[in-house]
Structure 1
Amino acid sequence: MFATSGGDKFGRLAWQRSARGAPIPDDVAAWIECEVADVVPAGDHLFVLGRVLELAVAGDPRPLIFLQGDYARLAGQ
């Protein structure tokens, strides 16, 4: 959905706005809002360094694991 060009990226997604107006999808494990602090050439790419403005752990903090072609979560603590 987000990797394609054009279209409304958030049209079919439930989301809220951060205090600064950035979209935060519902039911995410965490989110980070940044501003561009520096852009450095890195070969045929650009390395973009972000300054963190706000962040939060919003959902299940257990990591999502991809193993042997399937997704799983670690057992609860």
Structure 2
Amino acid sequence: MRISIHTADKKQQPPFNRLLSYLRDNIKKNFDIISHRKLRKKIEAMTAHWHTLKNHRINQLKKYKNRKNVRLSQISIIYLESLSF
């Protein structure tokens, strides 16, 4: 599990890093309060948001693929790496 929380602004991080830091902080404070349903909904919302961002970025790059000589497979691997736990 890779958690990188080095940026000053948490909004710049991928949603999974924010989620993991949120979980780490809250589980330490009150382990029983976080319910399974809330947690699952939060994870689902963040994955959906992250996939939307990833697909939007890949579509943008497809438009400029020939112009900038970008390899889409490399970019999708970079994005998918940040999704892995």
User: What TM-score do you get using the length of structure 2 for normalisation?
Assistant: 0.22
- Higher fraction of helix: 2
User: What TM-score do you get using the length of structure 1 for normalisation?
Assistant: 0.23
Q: Name which structure has the greater RCO, CA cutoff 8 Å, separation 6+.
A: 2
- Higher fraction of strand: 1
